[in-house]
């Protein structure tokens, strides 16, 4: 495919590919944050209720990071998610 592209088209193709890779990496990291926090919650508090799973799935990366730190001191899920 690259063989038939002009230099401008090739640059656009490579830029799009790079952006796609970056987005995939970001999504993978966020999924890793979520999985780590889920494991920590299960270990500390037991089974994760549906309402808590919904909060986790809708959280952004910064919030997941904040909760990952807060779980060390949180006495229960309500306090964890209030952090």
CA 18 to CA 37: how far, in whole Å?
29
CA 55 to CA 81: how far, in whole Å?
8
Number of domains in the chain: 1
Average pLDDT, the chain: 87
Domain limits for position 20: 2-82
Residues 20/47, Cβ–Cβ less than 8 Å: no
Encode pLDDT of 57-79 as tens digits: 999 999 999 999 999 999 999 99
CA 64 to CA 34: how far, in whole Å?
7
Q: What sign has the CA pseudo-torsion 39, 41, 47, 50?
A: negative
Residues 56/43, Cβ–Cβ less than 8 Å: no
């Amino acid at each position: 495919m690259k063989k038939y592209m002009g230099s401008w088209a090739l640059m656009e193709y490579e830029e799009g590919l790079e952006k796609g890779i970056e987005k995939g990496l970001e999504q993978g990291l966020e999924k890793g944050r979520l999985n780590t926090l889920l494991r920590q919650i299960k270990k500390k508090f037991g089974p994760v209720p549906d309402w808590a799973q919904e909060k986790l799935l809708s959280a952004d990366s910064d919030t997941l990071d904040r909760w990952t730190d807060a779980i060390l001191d949180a006495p229960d899920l309500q306090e964890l998610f209030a952090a």
